[in-house]
Amino acid sequence: MTSPVVVGRLAPSPTGVLHLGNARTLLWAWLSARSAQGQVLLRIEDLLPGAQEHLASVLSDLLWLGLDWDAPAPRTEGAVDPGELLPAAAGLPAVVLQSERFELYRRVMQRLTRAGMVYPCICTRKDIELASRAPHAEDKGRPYPGTCRGRFADEGAAIRWEGANALRRGRRPLGCALRLRVPSAPVLFSDRIHGPQATRLPDDCGDFVLRKKDGDYAYMFSVVVDDLAMGVTEVIRGDDLLDCTAQQVAVYQAIATHCDAQDLGGADPRSPMPSWTHVPLVLGGDGRRLAKRNRSVHVQQLAAEGVSAGRVRRWLARSMGLPDSGDLRDLVAAWPSHRTVSDPVVFVPADLA
Ligand SMILES: [Zn+2]
């Protein structure tokens, strides 16, 4: 069996229930892969606090919307039977949970650490503010000034230093974060909607955190490891993530240079990077992006109010510049020739009334 050319993924982050904006991005990703006879994998990004409690509702919303998915490759780490999360999903293809993939993340991190690409950092937020005198302290925060680059021989030394420091100050030791050495040359990538991008990471964010002080892996790291290990060829997600894509490209480059297939559970670390599409957000009538606080746009709430899934799909389709149909087969057929809507879309509840 040859592997499909296009491998897309649905990667919801269930820090709350799905709303129409999330549903639109998921449908976009699904249509893009399905219209190319590609595979769709489902990976739930459940590393953030509170994500576990919404696993079942995210699955149930996907089923309600009619978005199906394919089984990941055999022996994919963290693949679970969705019936364990939601009885109605029993018998469906496996779902990949990030929370079950720590061993994979640990292997890759260890390799990057040994290669000297990653180093321990014990700085607090306050240390970083004091140390950086960058003139452009905008809302993104100042770039990390590199205080701990080359400071410690290894993670153990950093932890001992931090432990002694904490003892002196009479506080609990905080452990150390792990940061990636960012390249000094601009990071380049192209987005299918936003066009070519170039970011100089030292000016943008500096060496950034791949593993936090509490031991959790950062999104920037786990998502790249996952997409590589799962053979994903296209990433389609909300455009609030466009700004952090250059950091992910830097992680791809580091992994491609220093890791081998064994680290990635058999996948080739030098596979081409996926294509990037950052989908415009859905705004509410107030001009602000839809948020989980607004119940009227929750997929579950719409279903409870008796709005049919077909009606929701029709609205989503129209908002993407597709024909006025709630039938997924029509939408798959229309996808290749439709004109991509690259502006934010405004949703008013009357649209579904
Ligand atoms: Zn530091």
In the chain, domain spans:
7-100+280-352, 102-278
Ligand 1 centroid distance, CA of 101 (Å): 27
Ligand 1 centroid distance, CA of 128 (Å): 7
Per-residue confidence (pLDDT) for residue 140, from 0 to 100: 57
Per-residue confidence (pLDDT) for residue 3, from 0 to 100: 63
The pLDDT of residue 348 is above 90: no
Cβ contacts of 8 within 8 Å, gap of 6 or more: 29, 30, 32, 33, 38, 39, 40, 41, 232, 233, 234, 236
Per-residue confidence (pLDDT) for residue 279, from 0 to 100: 95
Q: Are strands 79-80 and 275-279 parallel, antiparallel or unpaired?
A: unpaired
* 7-100+280-352 and 102-278 in the same fold: yes
Q: Which of 140-149, 283-292, 338-347 comes out lowest in average pLDDT?
A: 283-292
Residue range 74-119, pLDDT digits in tens: 999 999 999 999 999 999 999 999 999 999 999 999 999 999 999 9
Per-residue confidence (pLDDT) for residue 145, from 0 to 100: 92
Per-residue confidence (pLDDT) for residue 288, from 0 to 100: 84
Ligand 1 centroid distance, CA of 147 (Å): 5
Ligand 1 centroid distance, CA of 123 (Å): 4
* CA distances (Å), origin 180, targets 127, 172, 205: 18, 25, 11
Phi, psi of 217, deg, nearest 5: -85, 140
Read off the pLDDT band of 259 (50, 70, 90).
very high
| CATH architecture of the domain with range 102-278 | 3-Layer(aba) Sandwich (3.40)
Ligand 1 centroid distance, CA of 131 (Å): 10
Q: Torsion angle of alpha carbons 275, 33, 260, 100, nearest 10°?
A: 120
Ligand 1 centroid distance, CA of 157 (Å): 13
Beta strands in the chain (DSSP E): 7-10, 39-44, 79-80, 95-97, 118-121, 177-180, 187-191, 195-199, 208-211, 234-238, 275-279, 282-283, 345-346
Ligand 1 centroid distance, CA of 160 (Å): 14
The pLDDT of residue 287 is above 70: yes
Q: Contact at 8 Å (CB) between 328 and 66? A: yes
Per-residue confidence (pLDDT) for residue 2, from 0 to 100: 59
CB contact burial 213-232 (16+ within 10 A = b; e otherwise): beeebbbbbbbbbbbbbbbb
Read off the pLDDT band of 179 (50, 70, 90).
very high
Q: Which of 43-57, 132-146, 237-251 comes out lowest in average pLDDT?
A: 132-146
Per-residue confidence (pLDDT) for residue 138, from 0 to 100: 43
Q: Which of 83-97, 131-145, 273-287, 329-343 comes out lowest in average pLDDT?
A: 131-145
| CATH architecture of the domain with range 7-100+280-352 | 3-Layer(aba) Sandwich (3.40)
Reduced to 3 states (helix: H, G, I; strand: E, B; else coil), residue 138 is coil
Q: Which of 25-29, 129-133, 236-240 comes out lowest in average pLDDT?
A: 129-133
Read off the pLDDT band of 136 (50, 70, 90).
very low
Ligand 1 centroid distance, CA of 150 (Å): 10
* Dist CA 43 CA 47 (whole Å): 11
Kindly state the average pLDDT of the residues 181-185: 97
The pLDDT of residue 315 is above 50: yes
Ligand 1 centroid distance, CA of 121 (Å): 4
* Dist CA 300 CA 181 (whole Å): 43
Per-residue confidence (pLDDT) for residue 4, from 0 to 100: 67
**Which of the pair, 320 or 286, is modelled with greater confidence?**
320
Give CA angle at 325 (71, 35), nearest 5°: 35
Ligand 1 centroid distance, CA of 60 (Å): 42
**Which of the pair, 140 or 85, is modelled with greater confidence?**
85
* Dist CA 72 CA 266 (whole Å): 13
